[in-house]
Amino acid sequence: MNLSFLIHFFLFPGLLFAIPASWFYVWGERKATARMQRRIGPPLLQPFYDFVKLFGKRTPSRHGIEADLLLLWPALSVLSMVSAMAMLPVFSYSQGFSGDAILLVALLEMPSICFILAGFTSGSMFAEIGAIREAILSVACNVVFLLSIVTVAVTENTFRLSDLAGVSWNPGHWIGVFGILLCIPAKLRLNPFSTSSAEQEIYAGPLTEYAGAALAMWELAHGLEWVALTGFVATMMIPVGGWWWLHALLFVVISFAEVLLLSTFAAATGRLTLEGAIRFYWRWAAILAVLAAAAAVYVRFRP
Amino acid sequence: MNLFKRLMHRCRRKSPFLFHINTGSCNGCDIEMVTCLSPRYDVEQLGIRLEGSPRHADILCITGPVTRNTLEAVKTVYSQICEPKAVVALGSCSGSCNVFAGSPVIVGPIDKYIPVDVYVPGCPPHPDAIIDGIARAAQILADRGVSEAAKGEAQK
Amino acid sequence: MNIFRLIFQNLCHGTVSYALPHEHQCTSNQYRGLIVNDPTLCVGCGQCAYVCPSAAIEVKRSGDTYSWTYDAAKCAFCGRCIERCKPHSLTMESQLPPLYSRPDELKVVQNMERKKPVRPPVAPAAKPAEAPVAVKAEVAATPTAQGVQPAAPAEASPRKEELA
């Protein structure tokens, strides 16, 4: 619990940076989608207004263990995302909260698991359908995600985040980064993989029964997922060395560029059915990921 | 506390979430409402978002004269929306049953069952009128939130 | 990759949205809006109330006065009342009906007095010396009195074309 950890957790890239950044990235996605559809789009502070307004709603009272569980899932999602943000190796020297990629992957997985469990504990059939879809999709997408991380780790010969970060001219590194980018739309429930929170089709998916402050926490967790996932990919694209403020600047710029890229793909595609989505991940992405991981292991360990 | 109340008032006015329910309408009013979300009118500029669940919404937009079959559904949806809330009756059918008044399967305009804040007349109403109606309902919602908070404090 | 070309074109061409909030710019002069009754021309026949499908118009007669009530909340803006109105006192304004918050806020009530019928002018009896000219004048006078009616349908058809 030294000063560096506190700065990483609370200041940058932790709480104080992550929350406004999440609002900014969510606004960027909505504005970019609007402009691509020749609309004007929401004003800059719109996600902030939505967040504050939700705290003013009087939610229905629930009783029993269900009430506590329903509040637990969004809180767990937000906490795990903030911790994941704090772990990101933005700076080339990483003191304090240095961890390895396995812990980061586990933390990045928490919101998805909490989403599924929230759907099952809601007691609404629409929430259950959404949770089932999210569960099936996350299994398919995690195979690709984990294999991509393995590819990068084997190429760099380490699982430590501070060593994984940084640009390297090894093709294995870039194939792994591409694989992670391929999984991000499924994790963020963007088109074409937005089947688990299909608006209007299954009402609001697993979040149907949420209202007020708990819903605000879910929106915040979603925004933090944006920051953490795009930030994770961005840290693997920043060159090592240089001034710390240049690192931070490049981190934000590359993350926002990824936000725009993902928004473009989301605006350009329609929603795939569950079958179509898992066919994409199991048939194309998983096979390529297996090949890439096998190639990386072979290259690393060949005599 | 005054600053917090002003902030909440501004946020409620600037971010109205809609839930739309059709109680037997001919779909003309629904089409005009969806037109408001299209690029020509783009109500997302005002922060208006069409939500999938009544629990997420602030403003209930009702179209159609209420038929016998949809009455219980409308009452359930109205009770599921969390306070503070506002109701907009879109179209002349939900305001006054229009040509269907007196029909045996129409149980009357919606204001017999739930309190309506803004009526948007027209058959179908123009998208400008719909946007005006929703903006006015957002203002009513924000004022109602402030007055309820004041009442709550006075009771303590 | 047509969609990406479309997106690029959309980004280049800019937005097509109206910047909200903006004043009502809806209406062309053919927009079907509020019904307006001219009390100087209305005779209280009640034909508009008879053909109105939503009973938005009510005409009540009592003695020498009659009242014309119009509730814009019930109006379907179909235009049947205007097609049927013989004295052409009803017109449609290209104006949106306003928003309201209480049920009977948009009712318009007009109370009018029964109007005396207007007879067409009769030419005076001619002297015998001027008989042929007078007869011609009388013969010429009566077709013009009846000539008002054929002109009315001709006047009414442009309105029907406007409403169509």
pLDDT, tens digit, 9 for 90 and up, residues C72-88: 999 999 999 999 999 99
pLDDT of C157 > 70? The answer is: no
Total residues belonging to chain B: 156
Unique residue bearing structure tokens 């009616």: C149
Burial of C52 (C-beta count, 10 Å sphere; 0-12/13-18/19+): buried
Specify the pLDDT at position C129. Answer: 57
A36 in contact with C, Cβ within 8 Å: yes
> Is the predicted pLDDT of residue A12 greater than 70, yes or no?
yes
CATH code linked to domain C28-113: 3.30.70.3270
Lowest mean pLDDT, pick from A5-9, A284-288, B54-58, C7-11: A5-9
Distance CA A184, CA A255 (A): 12
Give me the pLDDT at residue A225, please: 95
CB contact under 8 A, C73 and B118: no
Q: Give burial (CB, 10 Å; 0-12/13-18/19+) of B64.
A: buried
Which pLDDT value is given to residue A299? 86
Return the residue of C nearest to B128 by Cα.
C24
Interface test with C, best of B99, B114, B136 (most C CBs within 10 A): B99
Furthest CA-CA distance within chain C: 97
From CA A36, how far away is CA C84, in angstroms rounded? 50
The amino acid at A151: T
Is residue A30 within 8 A of residue B44, CB to CB? The reply is: yes
- Token digits for B43? 């109500």
Selection from A72-81, C17-26, C149-158 with the highest mean pLDDT = A72-81
Measured between CB atoms, which of A41, A43, A212 is closest to B82?
Answer: A212
**The pLDDT of residue A55:** 92
* Alpha carbon distance B63, B89 (integer Å): 6
Using CA atoms, how far apart are residues A14 and A83, in angstroms rounded to an integer?
7
Q: Which of A31, A33, A37, A38 to mutate to test the interface with C (most CBs of C within 10 A)?
A: A38
**Residue C74 is nearest to which of B92, B133, B135, comparing CB atoms?**
B92
Range from A85-94, A243-252, B130-139, B142-151 carrying the lowest mean pLDDT: A85-94
Which residues from chain B sit within 8 angstroms of residue C76, using beta carbons?
92, 98-99, 123
Q: Does residue A216 contact residue A157 with C-beta atoms inside 8 Å?
A: no
CB within 8 Å of A185: residues ≥ 6 apart: A191, A192, A193, A262, A265, A266
Decide if C100 and B123 are in contact by the 8 Å CB cutoff: no
Give me the sign of the Cα torsion angle A19, A21, A23, A29.
negative
Which has the minimum average pLDDT: A13-27, B6-20, C114-128? C114-128
Contact C53, C33 (CB under 8 A): no
Residue B148 and residue A56 in contact, taking contact as beta carbons nearer than 8 Å = no
Residue C149 has a pLDDT of: 41
Chains that touch B (3 or more CB pairs under 8 A): A, C
β-strands C35-37, C65-71: how paired? unpaired
Give me the sheet containing B118-120, strands edge to edge.
Answer: B49-50, B17-22, B59-63, B86-90, B118-120
State how beta strands C107-113 and C65-71 pair.
antiparallel
User: Quick one: which of B97, B91, B124 has its CA closest to B109?
Assistant: B97
ipTM greater than cut 0.90: yes
Tokens 């499924």 appear where?
Answer: A186
Please say if the pLDDT value at position B38 is more than 70: yes
Cα B58 to its chain centre, rounded Å, is 8
Is C14 an interface residue toward A (CB < 8 Å)? yes
How far apart CA A79 and CA A211 sit, in angstroms, is 19
DSSP secondary structure string for all residues of A220-283: HHHHHHHHHHHHHHHHTTSPSSS-HHHHHHHHHHHHHHHHHHHHHHHHHS-PPPHHHHHHIIII
Contact C13/C43 with Cβ under 8 angstroms?
no
Q: How confident is the model at residue A9 (pLDDT cuts 50, 70, 90)?
A: confident
Instruction: Kindly tell me if the per-residue pLDDT of B107 is higher than 70.
Output: yes
Distances (CA, A) of B70 to A7, A59, A273, A280, B64: 56, 25, 30, 41, 10
Residue with tokens 């694989």: A179
Q: How far apart are the first and last CA of chain B?
A: 16
Name the nearest CA neighbour of A204 among A131, A139, A271.
A131
Q: Cβ atoms within 10 A of the Cβ of C79, count? A: 17
Identify which of C4, C13, C19 has the shortest CB distance to residue A38: C13
How many C-beta neighbours within 10 Å does residue A60 have?
13
Given a contact cutoff of 8 angstroms between Cβ atoms, the answer to whether C87 and C37 are in contact is no
| Average pLDDT of the residues in C126-141 | 51
CA-nearest residue to B149 within chain A is A56
Q: Is A209 touching B (CB cutoff 8 A)?
A: yes
Residues of A numbered 222-281 whose beta carbons fall under 8 angstroms of chain B's beta carbons: which are they?
A: none
Name the pLDDT band for C6 (thresholds 50, 70, 90): very high
Q: Are A194 and A184 in contact (CB under 8 A)?
A: no
Q: What is the pLDDT of residues C27-75, one digit of tens each?
A: 677 888 899 999 999 988 899 999 999 999 999 998 889 999 999 999 9
Strands C57-62 and C90-92: unpaired
Among A26, A35, A39, A197, the strongest candidate for a mutation testing the B interface, having the largest count of B CBs within 10 A, is A39
Residue B111 carries which side chain, given as an amino acid letter?
D
Answer yes or no: is pLDDT of A232 > 50: yes
As a whole-number percent, the residues of chain A with pLDDT over 90 amount to 54
Mean pLDDT of A214-240: 92
Q: Which two tokens stand for residue A19?
A: 């929350």
* Structural tokens at position B74: 């409308």
pLDDT at C126: 63
Whole-model pTM: value is 0.86
Residue the block writes with tokens 């953490």: A228
Highest mean pLDDT among A193-197, B85-89, C119-123: B85-89
**Does residue A270 sit at the C interface (CB-CB below 8 Å)?**
no
Residues of chain A contacting residue B14, judged by C-beta atoms under 8 Å apart: 43, 45-46, 49, 53
Statement: residue C143 has pLDDT above 70:
no
> Scanning the structure block, which residue is given the tokens 């804040």?
B117
Contact C17 A38 (CB under 8 A): yes
Which chain B residues contact residue C19 at CB under 8 A? Answer: 45
- Token readout for B63 is 């179209």
What value does the mean pLDDT of chain A take?
88
pLDDT band at B104 (very low <50, low <70, confident <90, very high): very high
How near does any CA of chain C get to the CA of B104, in Å? 15
Residues of C in contact with B45 (CB under 8 A): 17, 19-20
Confirm if B25 and B17 have CB atoms less than 8 A apart: no
- Within B38-126, residue ranges assigned H as helices are 71-80, 91-96
CB pairs under 8 A between B and C: 86
C16 shares contact with chain A (CB less than 8 Å): yes
Distance of CA C75 to the CA centre of its chain: 14
Q: Which two tokens stand for residue B44?
A: 């997302």
Supply the pLDDT for residue C85. Answer: 93
Torsion angle of the four alpha carbons A69, A74, A76, A78, in this order, in degrees rounded to the nearest 10? -170
**Residue C3: pLDDT band with limits 50, 70, 90:** very high
Length of chain C in terms of residues written: 164
User: Is B29 exposed, middle or buried (CB count within 10 Å of its CB: 0-12, 13-18, 19+)?
Assistant: buried
* Beta carbons of A40 and C19 less than 8 Å apart: yes
Residue with tokens 């997408």: A141
Query: Are residues B41 and C17, on separate chains, in Cβ contact within 8 Å?
Result: yes
Of B80 and A200, the structure prediction assigns the larger pLDDT to: B80
pLDDT at residue number C26:
63
Query: Which sign does the torsion angle of CA A251, A257, A258, A260 carry?
Result: positive
CB nearest C17 (choices: A36, A40, A269): A40
